[in-house]
Chains A and B, each alone.
Chain A
Amino acid sequence: MDSDDTAESTLRHRTSSRLQDCCIGATPLQKRIESVRKQVSFVPTPPRRKIPQCSQLQEDNDPQKVAFILHKQWTLYSLTPLYKFSYTNLKEYSRLLSAFIAAEKQKGLAVEVGEDVSVKVTFSTLLGMKGTQRDSEAFLVQILSKSQLPSENREQKVLWTGWFCCVFGDSLLETIPEDFTCVPLFLANGAETNTALVGTWFQKTFDCHFSPLAINAFNLSWMAAMWTACKMDQYMAATELLWSVPCSPQSLDISYAIHPEDAKALWDSVHKTPGEVTQEEVDLFMDCLYSHFHRHFKIHLSATRLVRVSTSVASVHTDGKIKILCHKYLIGVLAYLTELAIFQID
């Protein structure tokens, strides 16, 4: 094989196609690179965001499923677009994923005799879990244990749950062709080995890639501000922020709990633009908290690292774990998480 020759000929071919790209400048890949350049060159996050609102679409969602999602701790992942995923094949996927999990669980065993597949996988859509009509439909994957005795058949125990969603993912959708399904945010609850199995199957089947989604202190303070700004009928929990001081031998955690109404009052005092949150407001809000703390304890919290934010809306940890508490602002919380996930996969 004369690789030089072929390399050259392919090079020529390729350059010609690239040349066209240059003129027209509109291939998906080109668009991606443009968007990445924009992202990197400007401040990583837009300086202003909307305060989470109750979404219209949310009305159609199944209250049972929403209840199922609330009050659970989810581990966050970002996910690149799924190639050739089809919502019409969910049943088939259930079957294949069950088989895959069963096969993987038996791998490496010298003997595993006469045992039936003990798990069952179900795929189902989560209607209404999106921001705009263009967003891909969210869907849920569950691993259920099959009980051995037929009498117990009714009650299947949920071993693991994961769901995929895209809320206001326009920036990603614009640059991705139709072959792909964009569900950049993946949330999992259950044993990590199961997450790994499901993730591996998805990666192999739809040529996508999962990455853990960590949330840095910068974004955590945004969340603290935005969620404090949410109007609540009744507060379920105190607003609590947790800072970590890296010192040996054990790190020191500083917890800062505020009565939610006080927090809201503070927010209202720094907040100017109605319906929106700006970077200045976030900074100011946090600075107020810092200076208050410093007055009492003579500790500069700004020198430590914010690791957790808990409010009545949701509670989130820097290592990518979230618990959503409030039904009303579910979509708003997911929209911000989707934004972070898209930023990570770009």
Chain B
Amino acid sequence: MSPQKRVKDSKAQKRTSQGSDSYQTNFVALEEENLNDSKCSLKHGQDNPMKDYGHVDDEAEDDLKRAMRYFEKGPVKTSQMKDKTLEKHFRTVENVAWKSGLAPEGIDILLNVALSGKFGNAVNTRILKCMIPATLVSEDSVVKAISWLCVGKCSGSTKVLFYRWLVAMFDFIDHKEQINLLYGFFFASLQDDALCPYVCHLLYLLTKKENVKPFRVRKLLSLQAKMGMQPHLQALLSLYKFFAPTLISVSLPARKKIYFKNSDNLWKTALLALRQRNQGPPPEPVKLMLGPANVRPLKRKWNSYSVIPVLNSSSYSKEYGKKGMALSDYLSSNGSFPLEQLKSFPQLLKNIHCLELPSQMGAVLNNSLLLHYINCVKDESVLLRLYHWLSQTLQEECIWYKVNNYEHGKEFASFLDTIIRAQCFLQEGFYSCETFLYKSLPLWDGLCCRSQFLQLVSWIPFSSFSEMKPLLFDHLAQLFFTSTIYFKCSVLQTLRELLQNWLLWLSTDIHMKPVMDSPLESTLSGSMNSVSELIHYVGWLSTTAVRLESNNTFLLHFILDFYEKVCDVYINYNLPLVILFPPGIFYPTLLSLDSSILNQLCYIMHRYRKNLTAAKKNEFIQKTKLQFRFSTKTYQEFNHYLMVMVGCLWTSRPFQKGLYIDHEVLEKAGVVEYKSSLNLVHHPALLSYAVSFLLQECPEERVSMSSIRGKKWNWYLDYLFSEGLQGLQLFIKSSIHRSSVPTDQRA
């Protein structure tokens, strides 16, 4: 605040304080105050254009103005309305106070109100509690408030609260000379037993060398004699002893820890916000500023604050290296950029060559800018430092490593969340997490931190599946088979994400290097092998799960979701890989009772067809690069599935090839006429559609199912498509020539 303005402010305050007799003056003063208020705030919210600010907050300011006037006027006697209005105004003031703080003038008025005893005790307390300055508290207001204390209009508890407030806000008072002149007054208040600790604290903050006088020392000593060794008195005494060692001959226990009771806890969060306001805008990357920051009171004697170390630049270790540093090193490090100043991405780009790295690499987890840096840094030692720290911390924090130690479960989960967020941000898994999974999966119960644990699985960096299988996926399979269907579904989802991450990684890889050198070829085919092994593994899991859960629809959905990824690998990721689902998946889905499963199956078949035809086309064009020709077996498999589907759904000639069922068996089962029973009309998943279609067509008549044929068959198809069976539509469009109306519909 500029000195000029302060003069104006204090004038305004004087008028307000005097003006309780005149309504008019008050109003003017308040007008002015609001003006100042907005100016004040403007100074700090630098980015806001001036006009906008005014408009937006107009209404709120009016409310605040009215509330202030209300408080200043004192309680209204007509009690009916009183409580309601009081409450309303309180809310206005509190809102503003906690949101953006009160201007110095507002504080001035409210202090006046609270300490003058116009309202009752409860109101005073509430006012004091919401006295959070927007920027500063003016010294004048404090002095005036203290003068109220002399009048004796406020209760003891209000006084205590006031002193606590004063101590909490001490750093935000703009000047302290006047207050220091009142030292004697404060000192006299030490007499009051209730006030004593708080006054001590205030004096402790206020004392200068010239305040230490023999008579005060005597007084303090006599107080100590009376009340015993009180920590607050001792604190003050030792401060006195520091300023004037000759005056105090008593020995004070130097080793004893002397604390003041934390008196600012009422306003702690508000003060944090206040500090930030005063120090300008907060650092930009709030997005990843997530960690459990400084909330970790107990436990851990070593790393007292949080699992993740605090960000400090490594000037520390640089200092040591100095002696042995070569000249060139010295020159290059000279202009290094301290991390604490790193606030924005452009800054990072500008200084990326001379960034001082954190002294503890683990700190990057909480800082998105540094994650960017980590992502592109070539220096292996940086990654190794992170690797070691993260591996050890995961191992130490992991709750199922310790017997019966589940109390820190939440902490561990939130730590894992932080890691996962960092991984998502980088779009890449950490190696440490991979090793952690290897070590901890065999001990995992499948419950603890399940979602986090599975997410870690989905971010395993791409590598050889066959190498990882015994370490990880075999254990996972054991859990999978022995757990509930929900666990099975979430594992399948995880594996789908894993597949997606691997595919993304591989596809960007290949784009990077379009020229295929010989070592790369082998790498690529190796990579494809690894992916196909993963897909086969999931196929095996799914087949068994379908049997275990007796064709559960919910489970089938998750399985088909996985295959929706698989069928599109060639087109979506431009990777030479088409793998079909195993029969153990295909048949249960084809015969499912649920239309959405059938629909999804149709969609997947349609996409397989697209991918295979695209692959074939490319093979034709690029005859030279044929190292990834798909085996004819894949095409045969697909054609077989296709024939089965068309046979069942369309031509009513199911299972012509490859599947033989003894006629006797069918007879026994009473389904000799089975041929049409799986077509689009009779298929158990679609039967209800057929019925409602018929009812819609001719609600009165009794018609048989078999009447859907010829033209009606086409209408029925359109009806099905309109009911949202898009997958079916795509499948029929691409795989069946509709011009030829199905041959066999007599049945």
Which one, B84-92, B124-132, B315-323, B624-632, is touching chain A? Answer: B315-323
Docked-complex contact A209 and B393, CB < 8 angstroms:
yes
A46 CB–B CB distance under 8 Å: no
Give the chain B neighbours of A27 by CB distance below 8 A. 380
B301 CB–A CB distance under 8 Å: yes
A294 CB–B CB distance under 8 Å: no
Docked-complex contact A205 and B254, CB < 8 angstroms:
no
Give the chain A neighbours of B380 by CB distance below 8 A. 27-29, 177
Number of A interface residues at 8 Å Cβ cutoff, please give it.
65
Which one, B17-25, B164-172, B421-429, is touching chain A? Answer: B421-429
A200 CB–B CB distance under 8 Å: yes
A290 CB–B CB distance under 8 Å: no
Shortest B191–chain A CB gap in Å is: 22
Nearest-CB residue, chain A, relative to B395 = A211
Docked-complex contact A7 and B427, CB < 8 angstroms:
yes
Docked-complex contact A109 and B257, CB < 8 angstroms:
yes
B372 CB–A CB distance under 8 Å: yes
Shortest A31–chain B CB gap in Å is: 10
Give the chain A neighbours of B245 by CB distance below 8 A. 114
B520 CB–A CB distance under 8 Å: yes
A32 CB–B CB distance under 8 Å: yes
Docked-complex contact A23 and B520, CB < 8 angstroms:
yes
Give the chain A neighbours of B323 by CB distance below 8 A. 88-89, 92
Nearest-CB residue, chain B, relative to A30 = B431
Q: Which of B396, B467, B513, B523 contacts A211 (CB 8 A)?
A: B396
B351 CB–A CB distance under 8 Å: no
Shortest A207–chain B CB gap in Å is: 5
A176 CB–B CB distance under 8 Å: yes
A287 CB–B CB distance under 8 Å: no
Please judge, given known A-B contacts A110-B258, A200-B303, whether A207 and B320 are in contact too, CB under 8 Å: no
Nearest-CB residue, chain A, relative to B439 = A40
A133 CB–B CB distance under 8 Å: no
Q: Which of A103-154 contact B (CB under 8 A)?
A: 108-115
Please judge, given known A-B contacts A37-B467, A37-B471, A193-B301, whether A1 and B344 are in contact too, CB under 8 Å: yes
Give the chain A neighbours of B376 by CB distance below 8 A. 10, 13-14
Per-residue CB contact flags for chain A residues 205-246 toward chain B (1 = under 8 Å, else 0) read 111111100000000000000000000000000000000000
Please judge, given known A-B contacts A11-B508, A83-B385, A211-B395, whether A110 and B344 are in contact too, CB under 8 Å: no
Docked-complex contact A6 and B258, CB < 8 angstroms:
no
Q: Which of B204, B234, B324 contacts A88 (CB 8 A)?
A: B324
Q: Which of A92, A176, A207 contacts B360 (CB 8 A)?
A: A207
Q: Which of B204, B303, B508 contacts A110 (CB 8 A)?
A: B204
A19 CB–B CB distance under 8 Å: yes
Per-residue CB contact flags for chain A residues 9-21 toward chain B (1 = under 8 Å, else 0) read 0111111111100
Docked-complex contact A16 and B512, CB < 8 angstroms:
yes
Docked-complex contact B345 and A180, CB < 8 angstroms:
no
Instruction: Give the distance in Å from the alpha carbon of A345 to the alpha carbon of B425 in the complex.
Output: 27
Please judge, given known A-B contacts A12-B512, A110-B259, A193-B301, whether A180 and B384 are in contact too, CB under 8 Å: yes
Docked-complex contact A177 and B384, CB < 8 angstroms:
yes
Give the chain A neighbours of B372 by CB distance below 8 A. 6-7, 10
Give the chain B neighbours of A199 by CB distance below 8 A. 302
Shortest A17–chain B CB gap in Å is: 7
Give the chain B neighbours of A156 by CB distance below 8 A. none
Docked-complex contact A111 and B242, CB < 8 angstroms:
yes
Instruction: Give the distance in Å from the alpha carbon of A23 to the alpha carbon of B235 in the complex.
Output: 66
Docked-complex contact B320 and A93, CB < 8 angstroms:
yes
Instruction: Give the distance in Å from the alpha carbon of A344 to the alpha carbon of B285 in the complex.
Output: 35
Shortest A33–chain B CB gap in Å is: 5
Q: Which of A14, A111, A115 contacts B258 (CB 8 A)?
A: A111
B519 CB–A CB distance under 8 Å: yes
Docked-complex contact B238 and A111, CB < 8 angstroms:
yes
Docked-complex contact A205 and B303, CB < 8 angstroms:
no
A80 CB–B CB distance under 8 Å: yes
Shortest B618–chain A CB gap in Å is: 23
Q: Which of B204, B234, B302, B361 contacts A196 (CB 8 A)?
A: B302
Q: Which of B317, B381, B435, B467 contacts A180 (CB 8 A)?
A: B381
Shortest A86–chain B CB gap in Å is: 7
Docked-complex contact A36 and B435, CB < 8 angstroms:
yes
Instruction: Give the distance in Å from the alpha carbon of A170 to the alpha carbon of B435 in the complex.
Output: 20
Nearest-CB residue, chain A, relative to B373 = A10
Docked-complex contact A7 and B258, CB < 8 angstroms:
no
Shortest A123–chain B CB gap in Å is: 12
Instruction: Give the distance in Å from the alpha carbon of A14 to the alpha carbon of B371 in the complex.
Output: 12
Docked-complex contact A86 and B302, CB < 8 angstroms:
no
Shortest A35–chain B CB gap in Å is: 10
Docked-complex contact A192 and B359, CB < 8 angstroms:
no
Q: Which of A1, A8, A23, A209 contacts B519 (CB 8 A)?
A: A23
A273 CB–B CB distance under 8 Å: no
Nearest-CB residue, chain A, relative to B304 = A200
Give the chain B neighbours of A346 by CB distance below 8 A. 391, 435
Give the chain B neighbours of A180 by CB distance below 8 A. 381, 384
Instruction: Give the distance in Å from the alpha carbon of A1 to the alpha carbon of B349 in the complex.
Output: 12
Instruction: Give the distance in Å from the alpha carbon of A266 to the alpha carbon of B130 in the complex.
Output: 79
B693 CB–A CB distance under 8 Å: no
Docked-complex contact B388 and A209, CB < 8 angstroms:
yes
A3 CB–B CB distance under 8 Å: yes
Shortest A256–chain B CB gap in Å is: 24
Per-residue CB contact flags for chain B residues 498-525 toward chain A (1 = under 8 Å, else 0) read 0000000100110011000001100100
Give the chain A neighbours of B395 by CB distance below 8 A. 211, 344
Docked-complex contact B241 and A113, CB < 8 angstroms:
yes
Give the chain B neighbours of A193 by CB distance below 8 A. 301
Q: Which of A29, A41, A192 contacts B301 (CB 8 A)?
A: A192
B741 CB–A CB distance under 8 Å: no
Instruction: Give the distance in Å from the alpha carbon of A83 to the alpha carbon of B204 in the complex.
Output: 43
Give the chain A neighbours of B434 by CB distance below 8 A. 33
B312 CB–A CB distance under 8 Å: yes
Q: Which of B257, B387, B471, B508 contacts A32 (CB 8 A)?
A: B387
Q: Which of B309, B384, B512, B520 contacts A176 (CB 8 A)?
A: B384
Q: Which of B249-282 contact A (CB under 8 A)?
A: 254, 257-260
Shortest B373–chain A CB gap in Å is: 9
Instruction: Give the distance in Å from the alpha carbon of A218 to the alpha carbon of B659 in the complex.
Output: 56
Per-residue CB contact flags for chain B residues 190-210 toward chain A (1 = under 8 Å, else 0) read 000000000000001000000
Instruction: Give the distance in Å from the alpha carbon of A37 to the alpha carbon of B437 in the complex.
Output: 11
Docked-complex contact A15 and B505, CB < 8 angstroms:
yes
Per-residue CB contact flags for chain A residues 235-270 toward chain B (1 = under 8 Å, else 0) read 000000000000000000000000000000000000
Per-residue CB contact flags for chain A residues 271-293 toward chain B (1 = under 8 Å, else 0) read 00000000000000000000000
Give the chain A neighbours of B387 by CB distance below 8 A. 29, 32
Per-residue CB contact flags for chain A residues 56-79 toward chain B (1 = under 8 Å, else 0) read 000000000000000000000000
Per-residue CB contact flags for chain A residues 76-98 toward chain B (1 = under 8 Å, else 0) read 00001101101011001100100
Docked-complex contact A111 and B438, CB < 8 angstroms:
no
Instruction: Give the distance in Å from the alpha carbon of A276 to the alpha carbon of B312 in the complex.
Output: 49
Instruction: Give the distance in Å from the alpha carbon of A313 to the alpha carbon of B316 in the complex.
Output: 41
Instruction: Give the distance in Å from the alpha carbon of A180 to the alpha carbon of B317 in the complex.
Output: 13
Shortest B174–chain A CB gap in Å is: 25
Give the chain A neighbours of B383 by CB distance below 8 A. 29
B378 CB–A CB distance under 8 Å: yes
Q: Which of B303, B359, B425 contacts A207 (CB 8 A)?
A: B359
Shortest A240–chain B CB gap in Å is: 26
A sample of 12 inter-chain contacts (CB < 8 A) reads A6-B372, A17-B378, A18-B505, A19-B513, A27-B380, A40-B438, A111-B258, A196-B302, A204-B316, A207-B360, A208-B388, A211-B396
Enumerate chain B interface residues (CB-CB to A < 8 A).
204, 234-235, 238-239, 241-242, 245, 254, 257-260, 284-285, 287, 301-303, 309, 312, 316-317, 320-321, 323-324, 344-345, 359-361, 368, 372, 375-376, 378, 380-381, 383-385, 387-389, 391-393, 395-396, 425-428, 431, 434-435, 438-439, 467, 470-471, 505, 508-509, 512-513, 519-520, 523
Could you list 8 further interchain pairs (A-B, Cβ under 8 angstroms) beyond the known A89-B323, A205-B359? A10-B426, A15-B509, A19-B520, A29-B387, A81-B384, A88-B323, A109-B258, A346-B435
4 A-B pairs with the lowest CB-CB distances in the bound complex, closest first: A80-B388, A10-B375, A209-B392, A113-B242
